[in-house]
Amino acid sequence: MSELIKESFEKTRLAGNIASRALDEVAKIAKPGISTNEIDKLCYEFINDNGAYSAPLFYRGFPKSCCTSANHVVCHGIPSDKILYEGDIVNVDVTAFKDGWHGDTSRTFEIGEISVKAKKLVRTTYEALMKAIEIVKEDIHLGDIGAVIQNHVEAEGFSVVQDFCGHGIGKSFHKEPNVLHYGKKGSGDKIKAGMIFTIEPMINLGNYETKTLKDGWTAVTKDKSLSAQFEHTIGVTKEGCEIFTLNKT
Ligand code: MF3
Ligand code: CO
Ligand code: CO
């Protein structure tokens, strides 16, 4: 591994670890009655206290430190006074910027007891992310990642959002390549050791289509069905990959 790649992995590991630990803290307060603003405040403070910045804050005009996407919100939900109730699901997406490098991760939290269907959606979304990560190594095609996710999700009767994708990440928050969460095995560019990107499937209970609300950010399912998401930042190696945003649990 070249010195440059080594450095990029080391720096992303540090940023990713802070982002992941911020979500470990969110897990402790993600209970019925909490507002998404309270989650945002915790993320802002935790990331700052660890010597990093929240990359979403003021990114292209985004007003908060994390995204909080509840129920039928697919992604980019803006924290507000909105209260989370028993039975809700909420994705919290944080990105730490540390020493010039980014670490981006999200998890979907269950608020109290949730329905059997919602539980299955959340579990399947997580499985899809981890199954995709399992196949990542030098020389696979980008389309292989999408195929694994799509096959797993559609076998369970759910649909893959197509309007948003994973992305290269490093000194910039979002860069090439686009990492689609659907596709055909063997399609797309081959990936190389040293590449760093996110995989972040958004999976809907109903139809895959989304629309963006008038605030210019909040993406929701067109049919108002539930949507879940998990995200990791990973670095490709010859034999596999390293997950930079692993949770300890
Ligand atoms: N963290 C999101 C992603 O996974 C991007 C959020 S951009 C923001 O790529 F501006 F909405 F924060
Ligand atoms: Co991302
Ligand atoms: Co993210």
Per-residue pLDDT of the chain (249 residues; tens, 9 = 90+): 899 999 999 999 999 999 999 999 999 999 999 999 999 999 999 999 999 999 999 999 999 999 999 999 999 999 999 999 999 999 999 999 999 999 999 999 999 999 999 999 999 999 999 999 999 999 999 999 999 999 999 999 999 999 999 999 999 999 999 999 999 999 999 999 999 999 999 999 999 999 999 999 999 999 999 999 999 999 999 999 999 999 764
CA–CA separation, 223 and 1 (whole Å): 47
33 alpha carbon – ligand 1 mean position (Å):
25
Nearest protein Cα to ligand 1, atom 8: 56
Q: Give me the pLDDT at residue 247, please.
A: 73
> pLDDT at position 145, please?
98
Is the shortest distance between the CB of 231 and ligand 1 below 6 Å?
yes
To the question of pTM greater than 0.85 for the whole model, the response is yes
* Choice from 62, 69, 161 to test ligand 1 binding pocket (greatest atom count within 8 A of CB): 62
Q: Note whether 213 and 205 are within 8 A (CB).
A: no
| Cβ 38 under 6 angstroms from ligand 1 | no
Q: Closest Cα to atom 12, ligand 1: which residue? A: 56
CA–centroid distance, 200 to ligand 1, in Å, is 11
Tell me, using a 6 A CB cutoff, whether residue 40 lines ligand 1.
Answer: no
CA–CA distance, 174 with 176 (Å, rounded to integer): 7
Residue nearest to atom 7 of ligand 1 (CA): 56
Ligand 1, residue 76: give the atom nearest the CA. Answer: 11
Q: Say if CB 11 and CB 100 are below 8 A apart.
A: yes
Nearest to 87 by CA among 23, 24, 32, 129: 32
Task: Tell me 236's DSSP state.
Answer: E
Residue 175, both tokens = 């860069």
* pLDDT value, residue 1: 86
Ligand 1 atom 2: residue of nearest CA: 93
Q: Which two tokens stand for residue 89?
A: 């699901």
Q: Is the CB of 76 under 6 A from ligand 1?
A: yes
Q: How far is ligand 3, taken at its centre, from the CA of residue 236, in Å?
A: 18
56 lines ligand 1 (CB under 6 A): yes
Atom of ligand 1 nearest to the CA of 59: 10
